[in-house]
Chain A
Amino acid sequence: MTDFGGISARALARSFGSVHAVSNISFDALPGRVTGLIGPNGSGKTTLMLMLASLLRPDAGQVLISGIDPTLDPVGVRARMGWMPDALGSWSSLTVRSALETTGRLYRMDRTLAAARASELLDLVGLRELAERPTRVLSRGQKQRLSLGRALVHDPEVLLLDEPASGLDPVARLDLQRLVRSLAADGKTVLVSSHVLAELDDMADDAVYVEAGATVSVERVAQARSSTRLWRIRAAEREPLRAALLRFGDGPVTDDRGDLLLPVASEAAAADLLRALVAADLSISAFAPAVGDLEHTFLDLNRTADRP
C-alpha cells in the first residue's frame, strides 16, 4: 500500500450479525483534495465512516489514515483525524464556547490553548454570536456547525464529514463549501458524504460511489458518467429552437419550466449541437446538463444496479 497520507481503504468488510453493512470497499482519498462519498441510504456509508473514524473494527481489509492503521494505533489516528458524525449530539448544558473548549481538553490541550482554539473556531464556523448560549437552544443547522467545529478542534490532517450539509440554509451551505475548499487547499484530506449531490458537485474533486456495501468499479463509473444524459437548452424563441433541436438532435424534445430538454450522447455531441444551434442563428441563453455530474452518474448507477 502507498504511504501518501490521506485515506486508504482496501477490501473493507464489516457485518452486524447477519447484515453485511459493508462487504467490499476500496478507495483512496488524497491530501489536498475533497473526495465525495456517494451512495443510496443503507449502502454502508456511515458504517464505513465509523471504521475510518477508529470506532469500529473491520471484519476484513485494512484502513490507513495518514499511513496509520486505526486498529493497531487508534490514538495515533485520532490525533490526526477529525470526525463529524451524522448524529447531532451536543452536551446540552454547556455553552457553545465551553463545548468547543471541552473538546480541545479531550484532545489533551491545556486550558489556555483550548480556550484560544475555541475562540478561533467560533469565527471559523460562524457561531460567534451564540458563543455564550447553551447548546440545547441551537437550531439544527447551528448544531451542525458546532459539530463541524468540534471535528476541527485539533487541526486534523484528515477530515471525515458525514452529511455535513443537511439542515443548513443556502448561505450556510456556501460557507461550508468555502470552508471545506480552503481546508483542502491547506493540504488536508477531506472525505464528505452527502445525499445532496448537486452540492457535492460544487465541492468534491473526486468521488467514491458505494452501492450495497461495495465500491462501484472505475469502469462502471466511467460508463455511467459517459452515458446519454439530458441537456437543458433555453433560447429567446422557443418554437424555432424546438424545430432546430428536432432537426439536429436524435431524441425526443421535452418541455421543462420554459426550457427544452434533449438527450445527448456525449460531451462531444453536445459541443457539435451547440455549434449547429448558434450557426442556425438562434440566440441561446442557457446550454447545460440538466443534472450535475455526480447526480447523473449516481442515478445511472442506480438504474444499472441489477446489471453486472
Chain B
Amino acid sequence: MTDFLTGAGVVFSLEMRQRVRGIAWYVMLGVFFVLILLVTAILTIVSSVATAGATDASSAGGGAFSVIIYFVLLLGTLVAPALSGNTINGDRDSGTLATMQVTLVSNWQIVLGKFLAAWVTALAFLVAALPFLIFTIVEGVRPLTIVVSVLVLALELGVVSAIGVGLSGLITRPLFSIVVTYLVVAALSVGTLIGFGLGGLLLQSPTTTRVYSSTSMDEDDVDEDGTAIECTFEGVQRGTTPRFDRVWWLLAANPYVLLADAVPADPTADYPSDLFGSITYGERSAQLAPELNSTRNDCDLSSSSDSSTTYHHTLATTTPGWLVGLIVQLVVAAAAILGAGLRLRTPAGRLPAGSRIA
C-alpha cells in the first residue's frame, strides 16, 4: 500500500511541477480572482444601496451573497475541464506517456497521481476565491453555510477533475476529450434541469378529484365558522399530474441543487431565508408524490394548510438530495477513472482505431 502511494506520489509531484510552471495557469488564476472581485464589489454596492435605511440589513445580504458561492461554482466547473481534460492523451501526444508506462509505476498509480494533481490544481482556484467567500460572512451569510459550501465546492471540483482525467484516458484526441468533459459538466448543470422538467411531464399519472360543494347559493346558509350546511357530491374530475417525484434524483445530481441542499436550513426561519433554502425547498417538495385521489370540499373553507410547519416538515420527511446527488456524481467520476485505468493497462491488447502506444 505504501509502495502504491509512493509511486502515485511521484506521478503526482511530476504532474504538479509540469502544471504549476506553466504561465497559463497563473494567468487563469489571476483572471478568476479579478472576476470574483468584480462580482463581489458590485453585489456589495448594490446591496448597500438597496438596504440603506432598512433595519434588517443582514438577512438581505445573506440572500444576495449566496450568489457569490454559485459564481465560484460556475467558474470552478468551467476551469476544471480545461485543467484535466487532456492529462493522459496530451501526454501521449507529447510522447511522455509511454516512457512512464515502461517504468515500474502501474496504470492505477498513473491515473491516481494524475487525478490528484488535476484536483489540487483546481482547488487552487477555490483557495483564490476563499477571501470572498469568508467576506460574505460579514454581509450576513451564516458561517456554517460557508463551511459546507467550501466542502461541496471542493468535492465538485474533484468530480469534474475525475471526469476530465477519465475521459482523457478513454478518448484519443485531447481537444475532443476536453470538449466532452465540458459537455458532461453542461449535462450535470443544465441537462439535469431539462431532464427533470421533461421527465416529470412525460411520466404523467391520472388523477381523480371528488368535488363537494355547497348546494345553497344563499350566503346566510352557513354556520358560525363559515362551513356550508348543505353539501352535495358534485361528481368526479379526472385529469393528469406530472410525476416529478420519479425524476427528482436528476435534480439532485445538479451541482447547484446539490450545493444548496447540502447547506443546512436555518432552524430559526419558518420560510427559506436565502437562495439555497428556496432551491432546497423546491427540490425536496418535488420528491413528494402528488395526491392522485383527492377530495375537494368547497364547503369547508377553513381547510387551508399551514405553510410555516410545512417547510421544516418537508425537509425532515424527504431524502437528503445532496447525498443522492453526490452518489450519482461519484459513480460517474469513479466509472471515468476506472475506464481510464483499464485503458492504460500494458502490455496493451486491443487498441482503439487511430491510437498509438508511443
Partner-B contacts on A (CB < 8 A): 16-17, 50-51, 53-57, 70-71, 74-75, 78-79, 81, 83, 85-94, 98, 102-103, 105-108, 147, 150
Contact mask for chain B residues 95-112; partner A; CB cutoff 8 A; 1 contact, 0 none = 111111111110000000
Rounded to whole Å, the gap between the CB of B282 and the closest CB of chain A is 47
Contact mask for chain B residues 78-118; partner A; CB cutoff 8 A; 1 contact, 0 none = 00000000000001001111111111110000000000000
Bound Cα distance A54, B358 (Å): 12
Residues in chain A near residue B22, CB distance under 8 A: 93
- Cβ 8 A contact of B347, one of A71, A86, A98: A71
Task: Evaluate contact between B99 and A105: CB separation under 8 angstroms.
Answer: no
Interchain residue pairs with CB less than 8 A apart (30): A50-B357, A50-B358, A54-B346, A54-B347, A55-B101, A55-B346, A56-B346, A56-B357, A57-B347, A78-B103, A78-B104, A85-B95, A88-B95, A89-B91, A89-B95, A89-B98, A91-B18, A93-B17, A93-B21, A94-B17, A94-B18, A102-B14, A103-B99, A106-B7, A106-B10, A106-B100, A106-B103, A106-B105, A108-B3, A150-B99
Task: Evaluate contact between B102 and A55: CB separation under 8 angstroms.
Answer: yes
Contact mask for chain B residues 1-12; partner A; CB cutoff 8 A; 1 contact, 0 none = 001001100110
Task: Evaluate contact between A55 and B18: CB separation under 8 angstroms.
Answer: no
Bound Cα distance A235, B6 (Å): 68
Bound Cα distance A90, B97 (Å): 10
Near A by CB (< 8 A), chain B positions 1-47 give: 3, 6-7, 10-11, 14, 17-18, 21-22
Task: Evaluate contact between A55 and B98: CB separation under 8 angstroms.
Answer: yes
Task: Evaluate contact between B353 and A17: CB separation under 8 angstroms.
Answer: yes
Q: A50-B358, A108-B6 are in contact. List 16 more A-B contacts (CB 8 A).
A: A50-B357, A55-B98, A55-B102, A55-B357, A56-B357, A70-B347, A74-B346, A74-B347, A87-B95, A87-B358, A90-B96, A91-B14, A91-B17, A106-B100, A106-B105, A107-B103
Residues in chain A near residue B96, CB distance under 8 A: 89-91
Residues in chain A near residue B7, CB distance under 8 A: 106, 108
Residues in chain A near residue B18, CB distance under 8 A: 91-94
* B348 (CB) vs chain A CBs: closest residue: A56
* A79 (CB) vs chain B CBs: closest residue: B104
Partner-A contacts on B (CB < 8 A): 3, 6-7, 10-11, 14, 17-18, 21-22, 91, 94-105, 346-349, 351, 353, 357-358
Residues in chain A near residue B353, CB distance under 8 A: 17
* A70 (CB) vs chain B CBs: closest residue: B347
- Cβ 8 A contact of B358, one of A51, A74, A79, A85: A85
Bound Cα distance A47, B349 (Å): 13
Task: Evaluate contact between B94 and A55: CB separation under 8 angstroms.
Answer: no
Task: Evaluate contact between B349 and A57: CB separation under 8 angstroms.
Answer: yes
- A103-B95 CB under 8 A given contacts A16-B351, A91-B14: no
Rounded to whole Å, the gap between the CB of A48 and the closest CB of chain B is 12
Most B C-beta atoms less than 10 A away, residue of A71, A79, A87 = A87
Bound Cα distance A195, B347 (Å): 27
Residues in chain A near residue B105, CB distance under 8 A: 106
Rounded to whole Å, the gap between the CB of A45 and the closest CB of chain B is 13
Rounded to whole Å, the gap between the CB of A151 and the closest CB of chain B is 9
Residues in chain A near residue B100, CB distance under 8 A: 106
Most A C-beta atoms less than 10 A away, residue of B100, B103, B346 = B103
* A49 (CB) vs chain B CBs: closest residue: B358
Bound Cα distance A56, B7 (Å): 22
Task: Evaluate contact between B98 and A85: CB separation under 8 angstroms.
Answer: yes
Task: Evaluate contact between A55 and B21: CB separation under 8 angstroms.
Answer: no
Rounded to whole Å, the gap between the CB of B124 and the closest CB of chain A is 16
* B19 (CB) vs chain A CBs: closest residue: A93
Residues in chain B near residue A88, CB distance under 8 A: 95
Rounded to whole Å, the gap between the CB of A111 and the closest CB of chain B is 10
Bound Cα distance A195, B282 (Å): 70
Task: Evaluate contact between B104 and A106: CB separation under 8 angstroms.
Answer: yes
Bound Cα distance A154, B103 (Å): 9
Bound Cα distance A54, B345 (Å): 11
Residues in chain A near residue B21, CB distance under 8 A: 93
* A17 (CB) vs chain B CBs: closest residue: B353
* A103 (CB) vs chain B CBs: closest residue: B103
Residues in chain A near residue B10, CB distance under 8 A: 102, 105-106
Rounded to whole Å, the gap between the CB of A66 and the closest CB of chain B is 15
Most B C-beta atoms less than 10 A away, residue of A94, A105, A150 = A105
Rounded to whole Å, the gap between the CB of B151 and the closest CB of chain A is 31
Residues in chain B near residue A91, CB distance under 8 A: 14, 17-18, 96
Residues in chain B near residue A107, CB distance under 8 A: 103-104
Closest 8 A/B residue pairs (Cβ): A89-B95, A106-B103, A87-B95, A93-B21, A57-B347, A89-B96, A105-B10, A93-B18
* B102 (CB) vs chain A CBs: closest residue: A83
Residues in chain B near residue A57, CB distance under 8 A: 347-349
Rounded to whole Å, the gap between the CB of B111 and the closest CB of chain A is 15
Bound Cα distance A233, B96 (Å): 49
- A78-B102 CB under 8 A given contacts A55-B347, A57-B348: yes
* A75 (CB) vs chain B CBs: closest residue: B104
Most B C-beta atoms less than 10 A away, residue of A16, A57, A106 = A106
Residues in chain A near residue B14, CB distance under 8 A: 91, 94, 102
Bound Cα distance A79, B104 (Å): 7
